[in-house]
Structure 1
Amino acid sequence: MKYLVYMLFAFLAILCLQGNARDYDEIKKSGFLRVLTVYQAEPEMLHREMSPEDYEISLLENFAREEKLELHLINVLTYNELLADLAQGKGDLAASMLTITPERKKLIDFSTPFLFSVEQLVGSSENKSFKNIESLAGHSIHVQPGTSYEKTAEALGKKINGLSVTKTPEQMEQEAIFMKLISGEYEYTIADESYVRSFQSYNDGIRDLYSFPEKKEIAFGLQKNSPKLLSILNEYIRKSVPFHQVRVYKEDLPELKKRGYIRILTRNNPYSYYLHNGVLMGFEYELAREFAKRQGLHPVFVVPPDWNDLIPWLIQGRGEIVAACMSITEKRMADNGVVFCAPYCTIKEQIIGRKKAAVKSFKELAGRSIAVRKSSSYWEIANSIKDSGIAVNLVAVPEDIETFEILDRVEDGSYDLTICDDNIASLELKLRPGLAAFLTLPTPKNYGWLVRESSPLLKTEVNKFFTKEQKSSLFNVIYAKYFRNEKAVELARQAQAPEESVQVLNYDKFIKKYSERYSFHWCLIGAQILQESRFNPDAVSSSGARGLMQIMPGTAEHMGFKSIEAPEQNIHAGTKYLYTLRERSMFASLKPFDRLCFALASYNGGLGHLLDARQIAANEKMNPNVWLDNVEKAFALLAQEKYSRKTRYGACRTSEIISYVRNIIFYYRMYLREYGDFQPGSPLPQDAMP
């Protein structure tokens, strides 16, 4: 069968030679470079380390920048589709960590390799049965169809009697395969060491069991008959790749510009860097992204396991900048090898506690307990209070929990008091009405980015950036977005509070039209609009989601919508997006109710967080295919750092996602009873009931 597929590709390749191929001159004239990839646009990845996708795309971004071309990424679903579309001239390059194979070389051309890798046999960390390659007899390997892994597995199957080789669904991503290893659904798979290493950087549920001896060449794919593009791309790779292949390095700005990217060490929290509605956000994220853009660099965000890893990782050469709302203190300035850049944000520190146990003066802290991280500036403040003669107790909290999590524990009584920056407190206390700021420390402090002492040119550019931008409208808009945005707080509060009464449906003509087109009951889409926007067509969220269904413009554009301002187009885009989430192949075997809940959770929080929650459910012996009392509970665990630190997409405000799904299902059932002719006692649609 595979040979028939290859023959089909070959035929398509011959067709493309009739004039579809664009060589360098035509590409240059058009002003853009089309790159086909299986990397999915949704959800965005919350990077913990530089992933294979980061590495490959950063190479192409730098290449396009040097050639003064716009980079247009075109997403396809499978590797077979990738090769076919390239052969038909639907793209100029293919970039999906493609291994050079003899079969593929008959269909497309390849660039000079930009990476050498080995394929690895991978199993669960709990795997006890593997001893050597021969011990695979009687077991099974699952591999992605259309990949070099399939060929390796088939060769292995011929060598070892009783080894079963099974193809995964075509659209299943590598991470999903790893998750099935962890859950026990799959025994073994094969993957490039780069993917294995990237996954292991945040999840220890898999281990590499065997490395195949043959080194694989990873390269970009090109259409046949593009000799000039091939020559120019190869020259770029030859001069650039030696810089890219070193993972730990300590270089200044000129060398970084040769690499084309800069690594930002930060934290996964609501102030620095996080994923919301499938969109990367955060105060430090937006500032660092803007700085990188002005330097012509691709920003890569790296999240170390703990707060106290930030400075050591910088010193080791695992990042260029620490940007994490970090206060400038004498203790930190004394660290050898690092220096603070120009201050950019002035704050004061406050003592926070429950209103029922108020503190009116510093003397009243005697006998009370203050819970903070030892690595934080708050620990120094708490110690200074104690050294002043006030008998306050200091509680060292784990280094892997964030300020908002400490506040949660103060609110539930696990901790007595804590210390928090006033800008963070002004936001968080609006979400926690039981807490209050009792005392404000008199000495103001400043946030600052950290760089290595050996990077003076980088420090100079950071200083120029903040000296210019600190008082600019750009900085003030970003600051207000994350620390003064009343609308974001109010939306979060609404998402957690069920509506007392169901609002009368509007826009029913459009709702019914597109619900029918995408096989939803119209009462469901009405319920989602009620939750998303309260039927306000002009609603705009803090993350930029717009209109009745709060669809992100980038998501709508990816689906072919040029505008989502008009109510009809907004409803169409939002309904289609929910449909694409519900119809993903990974949900195909689920019950209708669970498919809907998973789609809604993905719509609100991004598919990535749902994948993480399913992974946690599997690890905690819950059912990753059932929403109620399983994945829903796993979402609650995802709010805890000890769980989120091992996931790909990191922490999020999981209570919002859980409430979002609950509210829509509640509204859906209410609409069905009130408007859908479903009388009490009569069965509801399958997706409305578990």
Structure 2
Amino acid sequence: MSKRFYALISLTSLALLIFYNSSFGLPTHLEKIKANGVLRVLTRIDPTTYYQSPERLNGLEYDLVNLFAQRLGVTVEFIVPATFDDILWQITRNKADIAAAGITVTEQRQKIMRFTQPYQEITEQLLYHASNKKPKQLSELDDGILELVKNTSHIETFTRLKKTAPSLSWLTNDELDSNGLIYLLNAGLIDYTVSDSNQIELIHRFYPHVEIAFDVSELLPIAWALSQGEDDSLYDEVNRFFSDIKHDHTLDQLLDRYYSHTNRLNDFDHCKFREHIRSRLPQYQALFEKAAAQNQLDWRLLAAIGYQESHWQTDVSSGTGVKGVMMVTQDTADLVGIDNRDNAKQSIMGGSQFLKHRIEQIAPEIAEPDRTWFAIAAYNVGAGHLEDARILTLQQKGNPNKWLDVKKRLPLLREEKWFKKTKLGFARGDEPVLYVENIRSYYDLLIWHTEANNPMQKNAMDEKPAIPQNNALAIDSPLL
């Protein structure tokens, strides 16, 4: 029999199944999920998707999935297969409801799974070791080792590129993910690999020897994947969900949460910070840990603020009267009960108490992590000016409880057109925005350097042989 006949039989069977389900009241895929109370989601451990932060599980996919589950009124069961290839295999065989794993939509994948509307766009980028000459075209890769992850969109891209660059060759790794290969690249064990642009944007700062050469693809969409079976009920609901969170800017707020601060520091800042982690932090770490524990804070957040303030030095001061490791003002010292701002122990304890005080002052309706960013902004510019910016945000129909919206209005406090309408008037409102973003970057770097069981590094160190195949700105804190 012809392929056309078999295709006709398959389509007829599917139509009859849909008719049978709708005619006789059998539950749809979405109704089954709601009845069971559980949404089963395939994902992977990656900074762009799903990971354990110091306080809780985090990641863009983690947040998106939980928002969708709340919409349905169900809980989430996250499933983390051993490899990315396993994720694709399981979703095509209907082993879960959704695959939310930063999956690039490709022509080949669309033949075997259904993609929702995209929520992000990326390019694929060639990475190289900084000790090598920056390649400008694919033909320059012939003398080096290029390694790619098995069954990723990167393989599809390079298979297509090989048609016009026949000498192009690479190794395929079926054990490591992209993070693992980037780790090997940074260590000089391979010469080249490929990363999605959103991934390297998040982790580039952790790898001082990795550089971006050029894009190897056009803009590509990222979306959730569903199996091709059952019916359209879940698929349609997911698409309505993404339409809604794009319309109300929830998606923008989530993207800002994970990406806005990642490029604040340049290479010099990163190198200097890593050197100071080795040479300066050890003498103060115990003080940060003790002060943070007494005030229910993460010591690395407190240390990040201290680094932004003084680069972990005690003998510093500014023309505004602040001094010490945490650059505390005399008024703040009086408030928290310290009498020697030059003393590192007192300065760090005082800064910790003041940050805790700022957090407690933040309006209760502001949730984490925005609550922390608001508190740090208030630590820098003062609670009154921050409240002025929140009021401006509300007047301009933004969300006064979201850092993404308020940080756009804080710089307006420099402009007379706006500050004359506020209670406290003029403020250098751009400075707390840069201050917060810098601290977020330092905080991320400290977490990276202090986490003993980093899953990406562990994955890379467990590597098996591959299969051969064809300036942060210096900002004073005058309110401290």
Which TM bucket (shorter chain)?
Answer: 0.5 to 0.7
CA deviation string 1:216-243 (max 9, x = no partner): 1110011213301100100111121362
1:221 aligns with 2:225: yes
Is the 2:186–2:210 Cα contact (8 Å) retained in structure 1? yes
Identify the structure with the greater strand proportion. 1
2:188 to 174, 181, 184: 184
Whole-Å separation in 2 of the counterparts to 1:29 and 1:393:
60
- Which one has more relative contact order, counting CA pairs under 8 Å at least 6 apart? 2
1:174-209 per-residue CA deviation (whole Å, 9 max, x = no partner) reads: 222111111111111111100010002444332211
The one of 4, 29, 37 equivalent to 1:31 is 37
Deviation at 1:59, TM superposition (A): 1.3
CA RMSD of aligned residues (A): 5.2
Find the aligned partners of 1:237 and 1:25 in 2 and give their Cα distance: 19
- Per the alignment, residue 68 of structure 1 pairs with 73
Residue 145 of structure 2 is aligned to residue 140 of structure 1: yes
Q: Given residue 178 of structure 1, which amino acid in structure 2 is its aligned partner?
A: I
Residues 375, 608 of structure 1: alpha-carbon distance in 2 compared, 3 angstrom cutoff? same
2:211 is aligned, of 203, 207, 212, to: 207
Q: In structure 2, how many angstroms separate the alpha carbons of the residues matched to 1:69 and 1:262?
A: 31
Written as runs of structure 1 = structure 2, the 5 A alignment for 1:158-557 is: 158-170=163-175, 172-224=176-228, 225-241=230-246, 243-244=249-250, 246=252, 270=289, 283-284=296-297, 307=306, 309=308, 372-373=324-325, 375-376=327-328, 381=333, 394=342, 419-421=347-349, 447-449=357-359, 450=375, 452-453=386-387, 454-455=389-390
**TM-score, normalisation: structure 2:** 0.54
Indicate how the Cα distance of structure 1 residues 272 and 222 shifts in structure 2: closer, same or farther if over 3 A, else same. Answer: farther
Q: 8 Å contact 2:139–2:167 — kept in the other structure?
A: no
**CA deviation after TM superposition for structure 1 residue 141, in Å:** 1.6
- Residue 443 of structure 2 corresponds to residue 607 of structure 1: no
What is the DSSP-based 3-state SS (H/G/I as helix, E as strand, rest coil) of the residue aligned with 2:132?
coil
Query: Does the CA-based 8 Å contact 1:308-1:375 persist in structure 2?
Result: no
Q: CA separation in 2, counterparts of 1:66 and 1:196?
A: 31
| Contact map agreement 1:271 1:283 (CA 8 A) in 2 | no
Equivalent AA in structure 2 for residue 25 of structure 1? E
Of residues 95, 98, 109 in structure 1, which corresponds to 2:100? 95
The AA in structure 2 aligned to 1:114 is: Y
Retained in 2: the 8 A contact 1:142–1:188?
A: yes
Q: How much does 1:82 deviate?
A: 1.0
Partner deviation per Cα, 1:501-558 (whole Å, 9 max, x = no partner): xxxxxxxxxxxxxxxxxxxxxxxxxxxxxxxxxxxxxxxxxxxxxxxxxxxxxxxxxx
Letter of the 1:284 partner, please give it.
Answer: L
TM superposition score normalised by structure 1: 0.39
**Whole-Å Cα distance in 2 between the matches of residues 30 and 260 of structure 1?**
32
Residue in 2 aligned with 1:118?
A: 123
Residues 113, 220 of structure 1: 8 Å contact kept? yes
Distance 1:193 1:394, change over 3 A: same
Matched residue SS, 1:447: helix
**Quick one: which of 108, 112, 115 aligns to 1:107?**
112
Distance 2:150 2:220 in 1: 18
Gaps of 5+ in 1: 1-13, 251-258, 275-281, 287-300, 311-330, 336-370, 396-405, 408-417, 426-443, 462-603, 616-623, 626-690
Tell me the distance in 2 between the aligned counterparts of 1:130 and 1:302: 38
**Paired residue type of 2:219:** K
Distance 1:135 1:376 in 2: 54
Off by >6 Å, runs of 4+ in structure 1: 40-43, 247-250, 259-263, 271-274, 301-304, 422-425, 457-461
The sequence identity of aligned pairs, in percent, is 17
Q: Work out which of the residue numbers 44, 48, 54 in structure 1 matches 2:52.
A: 44
How many residues matched?
321
Shift of 1:305: 5.7
| 2:38–2:75 CA contact under 8 A, matched in 1 | yes
| Cα separation, 2, equivalents of 1:137 and 1:262 | 36
3-state DSSP of counterpart to 1:159: coil
Give the 3 Å change call, closer, same or farther, for CA 43–93 of structure 1 in structure 2.
closer
**Residue 138 of structure 2 contacts residue 168 of structure 2 at CA under 8 Å; is this kept in 1?**
no
CA distance in 2, matches of 1:249, 1:96: 15
SS of the counterpart of 2:59?
helix
Q: CA deviation at 1:80?
A: 2.0
Cα distance in 2 between the residues matched to 1:157 and 1:306: 49
Go from structure 1 to structure 2 and tell me whether the alpha carbon gap of 1:133 and 1:305 turns closer, same or farther (over 3 Å shift). farther
CA separation of 1:216 and 1:194: change in aligned 2, threshold 3 A: same
Q: For residues 88 and 59 of structure 1, what CA distance do their matches in structure 2 show?
A: 23
